[in-house]
Structure 1
Amino acid sequence: MSTAQHLAEIDLLLARAFPAEVGRSARGFAGPGYHVAELAESDGFWEDDGSRWTEAEEQFEAERDGLSQLLTARWGKPDEFALYSLLHRMVDGGEEIPEPWADLSSHVPNLHLWRVDGRWIALGVSQWDKELPFQLLAVVTEVDPP
């Protein structure tokens, strides 16, 4: 998917109503108050010495940063929002964190985050486990970050 297609997908997410129930969507998953789109996904598994894994991570972070620059031209500089503390608060503190933030905290280390017209727009790089692919994610939500 090209950068223009990524921007178009984000625009569609902004215009789309939120579903009443959690479920898969055409490009990712959604629930009450949020959409998460999987804009891109890396190939295969990472059974080598780690260099391919590092290259893929760097590539996806560069894609996120390039897309972030274009969104910065629209909406200004994003906040950088680290999600590790949310995971820590849930696991160690037993705190209930609302979606989509709870799910994202388990596989996205940080987000570039904008507030636009009452909604939050975020970009992040997801990686569930070293053997699994990277994903470039776009999030649109009306749920405030905890």
Structure 2
Amino acid sequence: MGVMLMSILVGLVVLILSYVVIRLFTFIRWYKKIKKVLSHFPGPKPHWLFGNALQIGCFHDFVCRNHEEYVEKQNAKAYTFWLFINRPILQLTHPDTIKVLMKSNAPKAKSGAGYLFVLPWLGDSLLVSDGPKWERNRRLLTP
């Protein structure tokens, strides 16, 4: 009985460790991909674990400081910052940049507190719909 129990425990430990390792490698691969894409945009240098969360203090002041630094001084059309290691934020600040995003029929982000907060107000409009529904709504607006 003791050998069987030990085998089950070892199997469970191996299963749990395998899951953790797979999730870790998946996260690392995602992080490297996102980091490479966002490296083309200016932004404050993030801490390896906390991102820019330690620099934020008051979120409104942080965004105002970044806007002044990257938009007004460097004339950037977008900049990025990180809320911890897993929340990159790309701040679009120029109409041309936003226009490219809104004209695309690629799926829009449908998660996060900001989206869930405005979802009842936006509904399933052109701003947040995707696929065939987006194409139909787009044709209705611009014949």
For Structure 1 versus Structure 2, the TM-score category normalised by the shorter chain is under 0.3
Which has the bigger relative contact order, CA under 8 A and spacing at least 6? 1
Q: Structure 1-normalised TM-score?
A: 0.28
More strand by share: 1
Q: Structure 2-normalised TM-score?
A: 0.28
